[in-house]
Amino acid sequence: MTVSPNPRLVVSDFVFGSADRQRLEAALAPGALLLVKDNADLPDVLRAHPDTDVLCTFRPPADTLALAPNLRWLAMPSAGADGAIRAGLLAAEAERPLLVTTANGVHAVPITEFVYGALLMLVRRWPDILTLQSERTWPDHQGWLRLGGRELYGSTLGVVGLGAIGRQIARIGRAFGMRVVATRRTVTPGATDPDLDALYPTDTLRALLAESDFVVLAVPATTTTRHLIGADELGAMKPTAMLVNIARGSVIDQPALIAALQNGTISGAALDVFEQEPLPADSPLWTLPNVLVSPHISGSTNRYSHRFTDLLLDNLTRYRAGQPLINLVDSARGY
């Protein structure tokens, strides 16, 4: 694809920090950055600015290509390309090709810290401890014994999806003294990895689940990963195992997960993403005692804007030079 030497107009509804906004403005021609306060206003802004050739948003409009006839690059601040997929911008039948990039890697540190925060809350019984604190209750001897926790040290961590996030989770697992195994979409026979104790292809997922004490889902949302974890996969896990999902809600068959948590097929779960968001108020997940629910915030961090701006500036340089962009989405794979 032929690109212009400098973007004519970059439209964004991403909330940049003031210093990062200044960095972007300095890297672009005067007036070439247009910030939109609300995603709902994006269609009107694109319609009024047909010269837009770069769009930065989590949620592109369904009629983006019609609204922005000169659009060449969609720079998504998200780890996945879900928004582009929903808008039909990666479909084979899309009326014209776009460069679509994601912010994959920007979230690796905060999501990894979230994962281990959640695991430590579960294994060290922090929800129970905080309940006792709120009630100003010091447990009796039996209650005190029940608060005894498990250790991450010496256990097996299974990471499903070894992208930027999955790899950071694996590295920190090693620091906790865990045995770390992972799946990756393509694995050559006998392949090893310096951050892992074992590397498996995705078609051996159930073997990984069976040996893991803790499982973290870190795969992109695609047609092949929809309900990757269902009743059979949950049944392959240890009854003492815990599951963490920081990927996408579609990766798990949610009714099957609820049943597995209710009947003791697995020990517990920490869930940051759900098939329907916001999670409906009547979902059993809200009240299950062995579940931590968080509102899709595992990637949130005070450094998000800075890291994303670093990536965007790097890609702007590449865009001008006609070089391959970082995190360019493969339309066939969906990530």
Residue 2 has pLDDT above 60, yes or no: no
Instruction: Please tell me the predicted confidence (pLDDT) of residue 95.
Output: 66
Instruction: Please tell me the predicted confidence (pLDDT) of residue 97.
Output: 82
Residue 237 has pLDDT above 80, yes or no: yes
Q: Which residue has the higher pLDDT, 4 or 33?
A: 33
Write out pLDDT tens, residues 11-60: 999 999 999 999 999 999 999 999 999 999 999 999 999 999 999 999 99
Average pLDDT over residues 102-121: 97
Average pLDDT over residues 57-76: 96
C-alpha distances (whole Å) from 40 to each of 13, 37, 73, 185, 303 are: 10, 9, 20, 36, 25
Q: Of 182, 177, 209, whose CA–CA distance to 193 is shortest? A: 182
Write out pLDDT tens, residues 116-141: 999 999 999 999 999 999 999 999 99
Instruction: Please tell me the predicted confidence (pLDDT) of residue 186.
Output: 85
Instruction: Please tell me the predicted confidence (pLDDT) of residue 5.
Output: 63
The pair phi, psi for residue 156, each rounded to 5°, is: -105, 125
pLDDT-derived band at 4 (thresholds 50, 70, 90) equals: low
Instruction: Please tell me the predicted confidence (pLDDT) of residue 6.
Output: 83
User: Mean of the per-residue pLDDT values for the chain?
Assistant: 95
250 vs 225: CA distance, rounded Å: 8
Instruction: Please tell me the predicted confidence (pLDDT) of residue 331.
Output: 87
Instruction: Please tell me the predicted confidence (pLDDT) of residue 94.
Output: 62
Q: Which residues on neighbouring strands pair with residue 74, listed in sequence order?
A: 55, 100
Q: Quick count: other Cβ atoms within 10 Å of Cβ 12? A: 20
Instruction: Please tell me the predicted confidence (pLDDT) of residue 332.
Output: 83
Q: Which domains does the chain have, with CATH numbers?
A: 10-106+302-321 (3.40.50.720), 108-293 (3.40.50.720)
pTM above 0.95, yes or no: no
Q: Of 208, 214, 206, 204, whose CA–CA distance to 240 is shortest? A: 214
Ramachandran region, residue 272 (left: φ > 0; alpha: ψ -120 to 50; beta: rest)? alpha
Question: Annotated active-site positions, please?
Answer: 248, 277, 296
Q: Of 218, 216, 167, 215, whose CA–CA distance to 194 is shortest? A: 167
| % of the chain beyond a pLDDT of 90 | 90
Instruction: Please tell me the predicted confidence (pLDDT) of residue 93.
Output: 52
pLDDT-derived band at 306 (thresholds 50, 70, 90) equals: very high
Instruction: Please tell me the predicted confidence (pLDDT) of residue 196.
Output: 98
pLDDT-derived band at 185 (thresholds 50, 70, 90) equals: confident
Average pLDDT over residues 194-221: 96
Which amino acid makes up residue 322? G
**179-184, strands of its sheet edge to edge:** 198-201, 179-184, 156-160, 214-217, 242-245, 268-271, 291-293
Instruction: Please tell me the predicted confidence (pLDDT) of residue 71.
Output: 96
Average pLDDT over residues 198-216: 96
